[in-house]
Structure 1
Amino acid sequence: MSIPELTPVTTLLLDADGTLFPSEEPAFVASAVVTQDFARHFGLTGDFSPEHLRRATTGRNFRTTAKDLAATQGVRLNAGQLETWVRRERTEVTAHLARVLRPQPDVLQALTALRRNYRLAVVTSSALTRLAACFTASGLDQLLPEDCRFSAEDSLPVPTSKPDPAVYRLALGRLGIAPDQALALEDSATGVASAVAAGVVTTGLVQFVPADERTGRTEQLYRAGATRVRSSWREFAADLTDDAVRVAT
């Protein structure tokens, strides 16, 4: 792996769930309840336990998961039906995360240091209402205000989910930067694929991935196109102590 000349980066594009806070496990506990009701309502079969859903669908939002579950079993959902279930899942998961999330001192410390030299923005598949609740619970409101948050669920004309690169392209356009002026940070292969498809160099982060899954997740992140994978926010911040980022090829 060679290291070409330093490439200037002005903006960090940060995934939210599983990257800024450890929300994946608690989110799927709440989401699985809705998913199981959804499956019963439409006669779907399969494993809809929180752990299975987390392993199978991390990086995707409920809208995409529900559509895919229905489509693979030949069930047609109209727009109204889908929206009803999306709203319920969003409400229940948001309420649960608001109760259980807590500030992560190392994340707050790293972001405080990084924003001295970089503009920070959030690029997520999650809804903005869920993001707002998570940020408040995690103490991130002042570091990552509303005008720098971009959601594949709410910010696009047509809702989508990573690995679709649309939300990254939207963020680049709204921020007025070229892809090579940004560096993305993602915890999932779908997130990495989304950023890479938009032309953004991407670092993987496994700090909030369960310990027994980190080796496998690291391999997935590299396969999806991450140029490096870091085990902690401390390591990620250390990569950016200069005003430029080394891009591995």
Structure 2
Amino acid sequence: MSADALRGTVTTVLADADGTLFPSEEPAYAASAGVTNRFLAELGAEREFSPGELQAMTNGKNFRAAAQELARGYGRDLAAAELDDWVAQEKDVVTAHLRAVLGPDPAVREPLRALAGRFGLAAVTSSASSRLDACLEVTGLAALFDPARRFSAEDSLPVPTSKPDPAVYALAGSELGVSPDEAVAVEDSINGALSAVAAGFPTIGTVQFVPAGERDAREAALREAGAFTVVRSWAEVADLLTA
């Protein structure tokens, strides 16, 4: 996929949220760690895990998928009601924390405004809709993403799932009426890139909010996951699609 080919056909930008539209991943894992460690203790974990360890174990997946995976590692199959209770606890804690720590970022908002003048914007996330809505609100991005153009793997699908499952991207394409020739995804995580690529969408990797010391490794991993290019800012995304 070339940038020239994209500029000739793309009408829609499908943006991941956490780590892509705002730097929410590190604070989210910091807030989530208490709930996750209580959950792990009930499974039989013999020690607590740091937010960094938890992020490395589950990056790009929502808490529902992470909890199921962790439970299987301890030989447990969670009942639906039990899983739903843990998911609700984690969502409330993390959403409240993100409301408190996130804020507007001109380096994101201004390029997105430029893109919105030429493309339809949609958010495609593994996170819960309420968390997405809160983050868009406090970062000043809500007006750029119409509520009907926000897709959550936790809430928008008949059965909740998480990236790298491509279902949420497939749903977004279907609901928006866009084919893989007409939309491009922007993703920061490996699981997110795998999800978008599996759904057929050309994918731009971004490392804007990845810690500087990890960017080279993440860039290589995003390319391996199928991203056709990797950028370091939303300004580069805008340049790529509008030059």
**TM-score grouping bracket, smaller chain normalisation:** over 0.9
Residue 6 of structure 1, CA deviation: 2.0
SS in 1 for 2:142: coil
Amino acid at match of 1:129: S
Residue 47 of structure 1, CA deviation: 5.7
CA distance in 2: counterparts of 1:85 and 1:96, whole angstroms:
17
> Contact 1:44–1:70 at 8 Å: present in 2 too?
no
Residue 76 of structure 1, CA deviation: 2.2
- Kindly indicate whether residue 148 of structure 2 is the aligned counterpart of residue 142 of structure 1: no
CA distance in 2: counterparts of 1:75 and 1:153, whole angstroms:
21
Aligned to 2:56: 55
Spell out, residue by residue over 1:132-175, the C-alpha distance to the aligned partner (whole angstroms, 9 max, x if none).
11111111111112111000000000000000000000000000
- Unaligned stretches of 5+ residues in structure 1: 243-249
Q: State how 1:163-242 maps to structure 2 within 5 Å.
A: 163-242=164-243
Amino acid at match of 1:23: S
- Count of residues in Structure 1 that have an aligned counterpart in Structure 2: 241
Amino acid at match of 1:25: E
SS in 1 for 2:14: strand
SS in 2 for 1:158: coil
Amino acid at match of 2:5: L
In proportion to residue count, which structure has more helix? 2
Q: State how 1:20-169 maps to structure 2 within 5 Å.
A: 20-45=21-46, 48-169=49-170
- Classify 1:10/1:30 alpha carbon distance in 2 versus 1 (closer, same or farther; 3 Å): same
CA distance in 1: counterparts of 2:212 and 2:65, whole angstroms:
27
> Contact 1:125–1:153 at 8 Å: present in 2 too?
yes
Using the aligned pairs only, state the percent identity. Answer: 54
- Unaligned stretches of 5+ residues in structure 2: none
203-212 vs 53-62, which deviates more? 53-62
What is the TM-score with the length of structure 1 in the denominator? 0.94
Aligned to 1:6: 5
List structure 1 segments (4+ residues) > 6 angstroms apart after TM superposition: none
Residue 3 of structure 1, CA deviation: 4.5
- Classify 1:239/1:157 alpha carbon distance in 2 versus 1 (closer, same or farther; 3 Å): same
SS in 2 for 1:6: helix
RMSD value, Cα? 1.4
What is the TM-score with the length of structure 2 in the denominator? 0.96
Residue 44 of structure 1, CA deviation: 2.8
CA distance in 2: counterparts of 1:230 and 1:89, whole angstroms:
31
> Contact 1:17–1:23 at 8 Å: present in 2 too?
yes
Amino acid at match of 1:224: A
Residue 80 of structure 1, CA deviation: 0.7
Residue 34 of structure 1, CA deviation: 0.5
